[in-house]
Homo-oligomer: A and B are copies of this chain.
Amino acid sequence: MTEKISQAVIRRLPKYYKYIIEQEKKGVDKISSSQMSRDMGLNASQIRRDFNYFGGFGQQGYGYSVQKLKSEISKILGLNRTYNVIVIGAGKIGQALIGYENFLNEGFSVVGVFDNSSKVVGNVIEGKKVLAMEEIGKFLKNNTVDIGIICTPKDYAQQTADYLVSHGIKGIWNYAPVDVSVRKGVCVENIHLSESLHVLSYQMSLEE
C-alpha cells in the first residue's frame, strides 16, 4: 500500500466502512458502485476510483461482495486488531467517550482513565476507576497502551500529548479545543467541534 493516497480518499474510507457495516446488518451480500453512489451521495466513478487505489476490491460490473469490502476496508483502516486506549481528563467529554458504545464494537478498549482533580480521582466511570495523573507513567510501564484520548482543558493539551508521546504512545485522539502537534512517527487526530459548527453556520447563512 502506498502512503501517497490523498487525505480526501482516506477520509472517505471510514464512510465506506460505516456504509458497508450497515449493509451487512441488513443482510445485503453484493453492492454495486451505483447503488453506493445513490445511498451515499457520492459519484459512482469516484467510488470506483477510490477502491482502485487499494486494488479494486472486486470485478467491475459484478458488484462488490459486502463481506470482502468489509474485510478489506477494515484491514486498510487498521481495524483488524484491537487498540488499548486511555482517556486523560474525566470531565464531561471524557466521560462521554468512556461510555461511547461504538468503541468496543470496533476493537478500541478503554483500559485506563486519568484526571488531575482530587474530586474525580477514585470515582468509577462506566466501570473504570479514575486514576491520578501522576500514575500515568507507571501505568504505561505496566500496560500496553496504543492510543491516548486527550480531554483536558485547552491549556494542558500539548503538555499531555508530549508526556504521552515521551512514554511511548503512538496515537493521540485530541478533543481539547486546540490542535496538538507530535513528532514524526506518532499519529494525531484533532477533533474540531467548532469547525463543524462554523460549517453549519456558513451553510445556514447561504439559505437566508
Chain A residues near B (Cβ < 8 Å): 1, 3, 8, 10-11, 13-15, 17-18, 76-79, 83, 91-93, 95-96, 99-102, 106, 108, 146-147, 170-171, 173, 177, 185-189, 191-207
Contact = CB atoms under 8 A, between A and B. Distances in A.
Nearest to A188: B200
Contacts of A14: 192, 194-196, 198-199
A177 B193 CA distance: 15
B77 A201 contact: yes
A170 B206 CA distance: 12
Nearest to A11: B199
Given A170-B204, A170-B207, A189 B194 contact: no
Given A14-B199, A199-B10, A194 B106 contact: yes
Kindly report how many copies of this chain are found in the complex they form together: 2
A185 to B, nearest CB: 6
A171 B83 contact: no
Contacts of A95: 92, 96
A139 B115 CA distance: 38
A195 B15 contact: yes
Given A14-B192, A95-B96, 6 more contacts: A14-B195, A76-B205, A77-B201, A78-B201, A106-B198, A191-B196
A204 B187 contact: yes
Nearest to A15: B195
B106 A96 contact: no
A77 B108 contact: no
A120 to B, nearest CB: 14
A173 to B, nearest CB: 6
B91 A202 contact: no
A189 B196 contact: yes
Contact of A205 (B8, B78, B195, B200): B78
B193 A77 contact: no
